[in-house]
C-alpha cells in the first residue's frame, strides 16, 4: 500500500477520457459526455471485484459511512458500537447523523472485542460497526451472531482493508452494508473517494438518492425532471476521481500479491526474535497484508523501541497507534470533551462524553504494546531485508537494555 505507488499510463488514460469530453460531473450532460461514464464503470467493477449486488460511489470514506448510516435508518438517539482503535472518521460519521458513538475495547485482532460488544448493548443500540483495521478483519462470525441475536444492523467500516477476505467473502460485503475509502493512502485510490457496498436494494436506492441531494434519478436525460422523495446531501464523486479508481481497481490483484510477499519477508525476519508476537488474524488467508502489526512484551519496551527507531532515523512507516492523534482514543481530547463547531443537543453531548471517557484499560494493554509497519508496494527484496535487519537490531538492543532474554 498505497496504490499511488503504482500510478502510470493506465490512470492517465482514464482521466484523459474524461478531460476530452469536458464533463467532470457524474450525472447529466448525457450527450456531451459521448458515452463516458467512469463512475458507472467503477461501480460495476466494484460489484464484480468484491462480490456485492450494489455499489454507490461517493466523495470520501467518511461520506460513505454517513450515507450508509442514513440509508440504514440510523439517527437521533441510536447507539452505534464501534472500536476505540479506528480512524476519527468513524465516530465523526456517527455524530453527523445524530447518533451516539459507543466506543468499546479492541482485542489482539486490533478490532472489536465481541465480549466488549455484548457488554455494551442497551435498548438504544441500533448498530454494530466493526472497523477492519490495518489490512485485516474483525471476527465477523461472532459479531454477526450478536447482531442476529439482538436484531442489530451490521455495518462494516472496511476502509483500511480493501481486498481482505473473511472465509471467502470480501470484507465490506458481509453485513447489511460496508464501506471503502479511496483516499490517497489507501490500497486503491481515487485521490479522494469512497463507496458503499450492499446486497440490499433498498439500502442502495437510499444511498443513490441521499448522496445526490435526494434525486431519485428517474428523470431520464432531464436531471431537472428527477423527483426528490427525501432530503439528501451532496456527497457525489467526480468523474475525474472515478477515472483514477477505475484504473486502480484493475491492479488490485497485483497490489495484494506484492503486499503479501513483502509482508511475509519482513515477518520472517522479525519472527526470529522470540519476544516479538503478531496480531491475531481471524482468517490468516484473508489478510490483505497492507500492514504487519506486531507486539512487544511491555508498553515501556515498545515506547523505547519507538524512540530508538526515531533516533536512528528508521521510524518512518512504523506506526505506534497508542499515541497517534488520528487513530486511538487516548489522544481524542476533542471527542472526550465533545468539542464541536455546531451545537450538539445537550443529551447527545453528554452521551458522547460519557462513552469517550470510559475505562479502556483492556485496549490500552493491547495498543500500548503494538507497532504496525506499513508494507510498501515499491520495496525491493533487498530493501525489505535491510529494513527488517535494522528493526531487528533496534528491538534486540532495547530488549537487552531491559534485560529481557530469550
Written as nine digits, the cell of 403 is 534485560
Please give the Cα distance from 94 to 76 (Å, whole number). 10
Written as nine digits, the cell of 389 is 535487519
Which letter does DSSP use for residue 375 in this model?
P
Listing DSSP states for 320-366 in one string gives -GGG-TTTBGGG-HHHHTT--SSPPPHHHHHHHHHHHTS--HHHHHH
Helix and strand numbers (H, E) in the chain are 14, 13
Candidates 186, 218, 251, 349; catalytic one: 186
Alpha-carbon distances, residue 10 vs 6, 28, 358 (angstroms):
10, 25, 48
Please give the Cα distance from 332 to 72 (Å, whole number). 27
Written as nine digits, the cell of 259 is 503486499
Among the residues of 51-139, which ranges form H helices?
61-71, 88-96, 114-120
Listing DSSP states for 235-274 in one string gives -PPBHHHHHHHHHHHTTHHHHHHHHHHHHHHHHHHHTTST
State the Cα angle at 166 between 165 and 171, rounded to 5°.
55
Q: β-strand 169-170 against 165-166: which pairing, if any?
A: antiparallel
186 is annotated as an active-site residue: yes
The residues assigned a catalytic role are 186
Amino acid at each position: 500500500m498505497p496504490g499511488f505507488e503504482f500510478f502510470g499510463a493506465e490512470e492517465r488514460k482514464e482521466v484523459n477520457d474524461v478531460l476530452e469530453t469536458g464533463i467532470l460531473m457524474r450525472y447529466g450532460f448525457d450527450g456531451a459526455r459521448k458515452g463516458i461514464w467512469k463512475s458507472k464503470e467503477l461501480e460495476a467493477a466494484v460489484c464484480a471485484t468484491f462480490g456485492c449486488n450494489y455499489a454507490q460511489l461517493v466523495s470520501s470514506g467518511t461520506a460513505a459511512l454517513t450515507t450508509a448510516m442514513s440509508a440504514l435508518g440510523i439517527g437521533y438517539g441510536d447507539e452505534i458500537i464501534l472500536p476505540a482503535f479506528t480512524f476519527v472518521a468513524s465516530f465523526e460519521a456517527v455524530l453527523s447523523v445524530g447518533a451516539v458513538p459507543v466506543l468499546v475495547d479492541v482485542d489482539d485482532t486490533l478490532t472489536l472485542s465481541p465480549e466488549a460488544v455484548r457488554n455494551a448493548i442497551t435498548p438504544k443500540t441500533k448498530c454494530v460497526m466493526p472497523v477492519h483495521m490495518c489490512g485485516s478483519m474483525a471476527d465477523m462470525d461472532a459479531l454477526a451472531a450478536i447482531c442476529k441475536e439482538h436484531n442489530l444492523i451490521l455495518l462494516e467500516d472496511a476502509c483500511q482493508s480493501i481486498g481482505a477476505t473473511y472465509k471467502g467473502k470480501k470484507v465490506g460485503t458481509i453485513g447489511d452494508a460496508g464501506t471503502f475509502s479511496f483516499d490517497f493512502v489507501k490500497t486503491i485510490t481515487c485521490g479522494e473517494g469512497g463507496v458503499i457496498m450492499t446486497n440490499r436494494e433498498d439500502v442502495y436506492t437510499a444511498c443513490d438518492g441521499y448522496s445526490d441531494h435526494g434525486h431519485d434519478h428517474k428523470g431520464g436525460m432531464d436531471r431537472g425532471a428527477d423527483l426528490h422523495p427525501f432530503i439528501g446531501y451532496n456527497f457525489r464523486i467526480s468523474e475525474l476521481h472515478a477515472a483514477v479508481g477505475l484504473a486502480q481497481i484493475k491492479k488490485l490483484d497485483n497490489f495484494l500479491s506484492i503486499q503479501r510477499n513483502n509482508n511475509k519477508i519482513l515477518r520472517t525476519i522479525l519472527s526470529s526474535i522470540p519476544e516479538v508476537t503478531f496480531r491475531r488474524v481471524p482468517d490468516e488467508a484473508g489478510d490483505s497484508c497492507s500492514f504487519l502489526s506486531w507486539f512487544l512484551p511491555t508498553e515501556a519496551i515498545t515506547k523505547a523501541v519507538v524512540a530508538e527507531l526515531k533516533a536512528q532515523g528508521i521510524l518512518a512507516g512504523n506506526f505506534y497507534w497508542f499515541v497517534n492523534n488520528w487513530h486511538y482514543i487516548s489522544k481524542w481530547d476533542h471527542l472526550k470533551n465533545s468539542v464541536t463547531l455546531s451545537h450538539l443537543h445537550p443529551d447527545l453531548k453528554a452521551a458522547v462524553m460519557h462513552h469517550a471517557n470510559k475505562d479502556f484499560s483492556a485496549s490500552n494493554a493491547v495498543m500500548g504494546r503494538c507497532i504496525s509497519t506499513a508494507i510498501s508496494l515499491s520495496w525491493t527484496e533487498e530493501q525489505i531485508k535491510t529494513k527488517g535487519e535494522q528493526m531487528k537490531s533496534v528491538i534486540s538492543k532495547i530488549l537487552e537494555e531491559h534485560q529481557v532474554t530469550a
